């Protein structure tokens, strides 16, 4: 075992993120029937998709912050 807590020297956090990306890709292919290699979207359409995803991420972050703040109030 190395100083990072694993046997093979791989970063377990990075490995988990890679696994999540691979699973998300498989789920997207099943849901949408295509991959990100598709060529039917314009750069503006790709930008729109990204903007919508980032907007969702901000909403999730706000939700999480509220939950954390509420827990903090109850713990103090």
Indicate the domain borders of the chain: 1-39, 41-76
Phi and psi at residue 11, in whole multiples of 5°? -80, 115
Q: Which of 39, 35, 13 is nearest to 26 (CA)?
A: 35
Bin 34: left if φ > 0, else alpha if -120 < ψ < 50, else beta: beta
* pLDDT surpassing 70 at residue 2: no
**Contact of 64 with 56, CB cutoff 8 Å:** no
* pLDDT at res. 4: 56
**pTM of this prediction?**
0.71
Place of tokens 């907007």: 55
Where does the pLDDT of residue 75 fall: very low under 50, low under 70, confident under 90, or very high at 90 and above? confident
The three-class DSSP label of residue 42 is coil
List, for residues 6-57, the tens digit of each pLDDT value: 566 789 999 999 999 999 999 999 999 999 999 999 999 999 999 999 999 9
């Amino acid at each position: 075992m190395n100083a990072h807590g694993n046997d093979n020297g791989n970063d377990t956090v990075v490995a988990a993120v890679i696994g999540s990306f691979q699973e998300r890709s498989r789920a997207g292919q099943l849901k949408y029937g295509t991959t990100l290699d598709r060529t039917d979207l314009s750069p503006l359409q790709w930008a729109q998709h990204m903007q919508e995803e980032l907007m969702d991420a901000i909403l999730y972050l706000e939700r999480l912050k509220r939950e954390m703040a509420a827990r903090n109030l109850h713990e103090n």
